[in-house]
Structure 1
Amino acid sequence: MGGSDSCESWRNMSNLQSFLHKTTPFVPSQSLPKSSIRESSHWQALGKDTVDCFSLRELWDQYYESSAYGLGVPVRLPTGETAVQYYVPYLSAIQIYTSKSTTALRNVGEDSESDSWSDDSESEKQSKSWDATSEESLSEPDGSWPARDRLGHLYFQYVEYCPPYGRVPLMEKVTELAQTYPGLTSFKSEDLSPASWMSVSWYPIYHIPFRRNVKDLSACFLTYHTISSSFQDNMPGDLEKEGCCNIGGKNGKGSTEAVNRIPLPPFGLATYKAQGTFWLNPESEDQEQFATLYSAADSWLKQLRVHHHDFSFFSTHSTM
């Protein structure tokens, strides 16, 4: 996920905007006629005749480099100096809903249960299981989700319970899970219903140049991304023009080759140890943007009746 150094637009961004920009994967895609997509009723809301689709394998490849070396996010320090903070991505949670039934459902997340993080409160320790629902229990919550037609069939779900030091980077975790659930790497986005999503947790490892006592750089983040093409019309227009600033895939840093790419910017966000004006620039729209993204993540989890351990922890410990 190490974006292209040739993209200098970050200099006009706040630190939060820089982070969100750099953690947006730009996945190689192809345009398919809407009529050719299986269960096309999922896609009728899109306002165009074609749908940009991608393979999940190509999506995970975007995290290849950052899983190995970290993702560099340019930030501006309180002194006015600039630095690059590196983060490692971890798979925090994922749900894959397909347009038609594929295999019997199994819970995987429960195998990774562990004691809560060392400073968890008793209220956070009360739930140790992935509180995902079966298709039968997914009735319409407040009319928001038409149960079966919209959600599709739950093929796979996972949530991480291990503390950060017990986790493996995203690429390694996906490779491990795909041995049991091959759809993780074989499915294409057109196979998935709009309810499919993933959450990535980002933990800092080091920054260059090194500066002592910059506590703001210890912040951690949770980003939420759709892994279905159904929301692509809602993507900001400027993202579609900035495929060079991706997160750095398997083929090198910030490839600028002529390849159609679809951006999957975070639709939700939660933070831990991110505070003050370092991450929320009062001269920008950071506060409003963060509130919108946090609310979207919270609403999404509630609608799908998911207990996301990392989100609960970040929410009860966040000082933003």
Structure 2
Amino acid sequence: MGSDPSESWRNKSNLNSFLHKTTPFVPSQSLPKTFIRENSHWQPIGKDTVDCFSLGDIWDQYYEWSAYGLGVPVRLPIGETAVQYYVPYLSAVQIYTSKSLAALRNVGEDSESDSWSDDSESEKHSKSWDATSEDSSSEPDGSWPARDRLGHLYFQYVEYCPPYGRIPLIEKVTELARTYPGLISFKSVDLSPASWMSVSWYPIYHIPFRRSVKDLSACFLTYHTISSSFQDSMPGDSEKDFCCTIVGKNGKGSAAAVNRIPLPPFGLATYKAQENFWLDPESEDQERFATLYSAADSWLKQLGVHHHDFSFFSTHSTM
């Protein structure tokens, strides 16, 4: 197994440590270029295959984190270090694609095709989960030019329960996928650039235990794109450092290696996070946090989404 790029946290701030650790790495797959769709038309992309990933592989990254928590190394004010564990919850997700996609999928993918055909039920389900969202026909200032360019809204979910009433992310996805199997079976190249997910992270415990460290009660909200369309244009050099290859047991690369695609957060919101603990004043942390928060806010406004967790975090943020 190759070294974990996130181990470089020792030279970074607590915020960077958190962002590194919560970035999922999904196995890369190659598909024929004819599966790439741009601006509502199938377009050649100049090569025979394109790298992508399945939504099921994304959720697999959260399996152990949902069961045991994800450990994030942090520096304490007293000069020591600790590992703070967080449990991930599905905060929101929107999956957009083309209505014509079902006819273009391979024969035999019955469950996936069936999930596309029931447009009215999909829209009904979306409204039931996100009753306070703006009407799909509305166009707020700064929104996407036309709703039909977003693609077909296959599925959306917004969490409204308080943290103590939620179930871990992998359990929630499994529950939702019983009705909407595309939540697991679709691939990133099937999705419109408007597709995204948000994960809320709540602390559970830290090792070694320190009774007086209130800074470890911080909660986070991360936003990730789940469409291949944005994977080559993620901002920031730090995200590019995540590209990695997991080497096989024989220690060789090439065929023995498994390429993985990182899905670093493009947006972020915090709750109970103290600036002097999570941000390094001698770095660009403050600017980076402001950029990530602004990106999340802008994204939601463009899509006309009322994200309950984002609203709560924003009105209670200390950074």
Tell me what 2:295 maps to. Answer: 296
Matched residue, 2:131: 129
Report the equivalent of 1:319.
318
Say if 1:298 and 1:241 are closer, same or farther in 2 by CA, change over 3 A: closer
Deviation at 1:280, TM superposition (A): 1.5
In structure 2, do the counterparts of structure 1 residues 77 and 93 end up closer, same or farther at CA, with 3 Å as the change threshold?
same
Contact 2:63/2:170, CA 8 A, preserved across alignment: yes
Match of 2:83 in 1: 84
Q: Which stretch of the first structure deviates more once superposed, 193-202 or 102-111?
A: 102-111
Structure 1 alignment gaps of length 5 or more: 113-127, 247-255
Residue 174 of structure 1 aligns to a residue whose secondary structure is: helix
Q: CA deviation at 1:98?
A: 1.0
- C-alpha contact (below 8 Å) 1:39/1:99 kept by paired residues: no
Aligned-residue sequence identity (percent) comes to: 77
Deviation, structure 1 residue 74: 0.5
Residue matched to 1:16: 15
With normalisation by structure 2, the TM-score equals 0.82
* 1:214–1:177 distance in 2 versus 1, CA, 3 Å: same
Query: In the alignment, what sits opposite 1:106?
Result: 123
- 2:202 is matched with 203
Take 2:24 and 2:41, find their aligned partners in 1: how far apart are those partners? 22
* 1:1-150 map, 5 Å: 8-33=7-32, 35-41=33-39, 49=47, 51-100=50-99, 102=116, 103-104=118-119, 105-108=122-125, 129-134=131-136, 137=137, 139=139, 141-142=140-141, 144-150=143-149
Which structure ranks higher in relative contact order (CA pairs < 8 Å, sequence separation ≥ 6)?
A: 1
Cα distance change, pair 59–210 in 1 and its aligned pair in 2 (3 A): same
Deviation at 1:111, TM superposition (A): 6.0
Question: Cα RMSD between the aligned structures?
Answer: 2.9
Instruction: Provide Cα deviations, 1:219-266, integer angstroms capped at 9, x if missing partner.
Output: 0000000110111112356545545699xxxxxxxxx97211111100
Aligned length: 290
- Residue deviations 1:59-110, cap 9 Å, x none? 1000000000000001000111111000000000111001225232235477
Mapped partners of 1:63, 1:151: distance in 2: 27
Give distance in 2, aligned partners of 1:29 and 1:161: 33
3-state SS of the aligned residue for 1:87? strand
Question: Offset at 1:7?
Answer: 5.1
In structure 2, the residue matched to 1:178 is: 177
1:250 corresponding residue in structure 2: none
**SS of 2:131 mapped into structure 1:** coil
1:316–1:152 distance in 2 versus 1, CA, 3 Å: same
TM-score (norm 1): 0.82
CA distance in 2: counterparts of 1:43 and 1:73, whole angstroms = 43
Tell me the distance in 1 between the aligned counterparts of 2:41 and 2:261. Answer: 16
Query: Any conservation in 1 of the 2:126–2:155 contact (CA below 8 Å)?
Result: no
Cα shift at 1:51 = 3.5
Structure 2 counterpart of 1:167, which letter? R
TM-superposed CA distance for 1:276, in Å, is 2.9
